[in-house]
């Protein structure tokens, strides 16, 4: 159990902000029909002529009940990349604070630290792709506001061990952000159930992966009511558009479909891992808890180029630390994976 003082971690100017408030936030509806002449919209109905609900109430209610949380524990962003940016801007004072990331990992943490002018302290994962708890804690100082744990991790595909995450939640004196973009493919449980135990925990998820909605851009931030209230001060009022809210709601109300697609992807993932291992130039296929497979090859860059020539785009991760000569393969449809394997066999 940890009790970090969140208010003390928030940037001073952010603590003093009030969220943007529109006229429609400022009255309580009694259900009667209203005439909206407050927001300078075009009055002619076309389905999107009105501003969207800035608090996305409908979508929040459904997700909250599915996840066993309250709407006040949720904030949405234009993809989880936007959510991550809100987290930076809430907690990190430019040129003063720092964050800790664990390469090889998702590249946006570093990009966002650059954009926000925040030092990024990098502590390599261990050779078995686990957080090096001792090194992380010794790298941290009183200006270390955020620690990013991507679990399952991109590109290594593994989930971090539960004990290591607990130790970090208990000993890191800043906010621990667990990026669960790939959690729906994992055999591990989400950390959402621990939100009430750790005041310094933020969990981010997305509709871009298992939910199959990368094109609508919807990222989700789950945290204590206190953290969500501060993040709401940073959020632009209409960051999640009407079409996104509608499509996301339809999708989260159709969880069976999401689950059945995930089940298909998991079957394909195992077939793909096994097929990759049969290839002469593949020396290792890493265990995966996500919807992609990382494999070590003889010459990743050469193989990457050969695949491109045959019309297949994969991700070359060879320049990432601990990932020399690796390619990352997203699990596609049965036909796409068969095509990949066929081409890989041809270039053997």
Ligand X SMILES: Cc1ncc(COP(=O)(O)O)c(C=O)c1O
**Using CB under 6 A as the criterion, which residues of the chain lie in contact with ligand X when the complex forms?**
79-81, 106, 150, 154, 179, 181, 206, 208, 214, 219
CB of 209 to ligand X, least distance (A): 7
Nearer to ligand X by Cβ, of 206 and 320: the residue is 206
Nearer to ligand X by Cβ, of 10 and 83: the residue is 83
Rounded distance, CA 237 to CA 39, Å? Answer: 13
CB of 319 to ligand X, least distance (A): 17
**Tokens, residue 180:** 């669960």
Given a contact cutoff of 8 angstroms between Cβ atoms, the answer to whether 262 and 268 are in contact is no
CB of 292 to ligand X, least distance (A): 9
CB of 80 to ligand X, least distance (A): 3
Nearer to ligand X by Cβ, of 112 and 279: the residue is 112
Q: Counting Cβ atoms within 10 Å, is residue 303 exposed (0-12), middle (13-18) or buried (19+)? A: buried
- Helix segments in 116-213, DSSP class H: 133-139, 162-171
CB of 46 to ligand X, least distance (A): 28
CB of 2 to ligand X, least distance (A): 24
Rounded distance, CA 76 to CA 280, Å? Answer: 45
Given a contact cutoff of 8 angstroms between Cβ atoms, the answer to whether 83 and 89 are in contact is no
Q: Which residues pair with 342 in a beta bridge?
A: none
Nearer to ligand X by Cβ, of 181 and 230: the residue is 181
**Cα-based angle 77, 81, 264 (whole degrees, multiple of 5):** 90
Nearer to ligand X by Cβ, of 94 and 107: the residue is 107
Nearer to ligand X by Cβ, of 87 and 168: the residue is 87
Nearer to ligand X by Cβ, of 113 and 275: the residue is 113
CB of 208 to ligand X, least distance (A): 3
User: What order do you get walking across the sheet with 219-222 strand by strand?
Assistant: 74-77, 219-222, 201-206, 175-179, 144-150, 98-101, 119-122
Peptide bond into 37 cis (omega under 30): no
CB of 18 to ligand X, least distance (A): 27
Rounded distance, CA 337 to CA 305, Å? Answer: 18
Could you write out the DSSP letters of every residue in 239-269?
A: -S-HHHHHHHHHHHTTHHHHHHHHHHHHHHH
Residue of this chain nearest to ligand X (CB atom): 79
Characterize the bridge pairing of strands 326-330 and 292-297.
antiparallel
Nearer to ligand X by Cβ, of 154 and 288: the residue is 154
Between the alpha carbon of residue 127 and those of residues 132, 272, 291, the distances in Å are: 10, 24, 22
């Amino acid at each position: 159990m940890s009790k970090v003082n969140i208010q003390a971690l928030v940037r001073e100017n952010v603590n003093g902000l009030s969220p943007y408030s529109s006229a429609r936030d400022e009255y309580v509806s009694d259900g009667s029909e209203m005439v909206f002449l407050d927001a300078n919209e075009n009055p002619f109905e076309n389905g999107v002529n009105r501003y969207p609900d800035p608090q996305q109430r409908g979508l929040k209610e459904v997700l909250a009940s599915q996840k066993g949380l309250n709407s006040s524990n949720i904030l949405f962003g234009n993809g989880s990349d936007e959510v991550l940016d809100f987290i930076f801007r809430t907690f990190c004072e430019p040129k003063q604070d720092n964050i800790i990331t664990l390469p090889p990992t998702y590249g946006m943490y570093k990009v966002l630290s650059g954009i926000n002018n925040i030092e990024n302290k990098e502590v390599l994962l261990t050779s078995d792709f686990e957080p090096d708890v001792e090194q992380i804690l010794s790298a941290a100082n009183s200006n270390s506001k955020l620690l990013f744990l991507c679990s399952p991790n991109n590109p290594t595909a593994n989930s971090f061990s539960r004990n290591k995450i607990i130790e970090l939640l208990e000993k890191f004196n800043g906010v621990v952000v667990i990026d669960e973009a790939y959690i729906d493919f994992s055999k591990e449980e989400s950390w959402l159930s621990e939100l009430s135990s750790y005041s310094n925990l933020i969990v981010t998820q997305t509709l871009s992966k298992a939910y199959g909605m990368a094109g609508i851009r919807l990222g989700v931030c789950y945290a204590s009511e206190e953290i969500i209230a501060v993040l709401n001060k940073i959020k632009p009022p209409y960051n999640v558009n009407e079409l996104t809210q509608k499509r996301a709601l339809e999708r989260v109300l159709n969880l069976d479909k999401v689950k059945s697609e995930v089940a298909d992807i998991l079957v394909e993932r195992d077939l793909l891992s096994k097929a990759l291992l049969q290839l002469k130039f593949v020396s290792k296929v890493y265990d995966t808890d996500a919807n992609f497979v990382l494999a070590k090859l003889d010459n990743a860059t050469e193989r990457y180029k050969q695949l491109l020539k045959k019309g297949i785009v994969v991700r070359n991760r060879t320049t990432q630390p601990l990932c020399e000569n690796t390619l990352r393969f997203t699990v596609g449809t049965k036909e796409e994976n068969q095509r990949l394997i066929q081409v890989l066999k041809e270039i053997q």
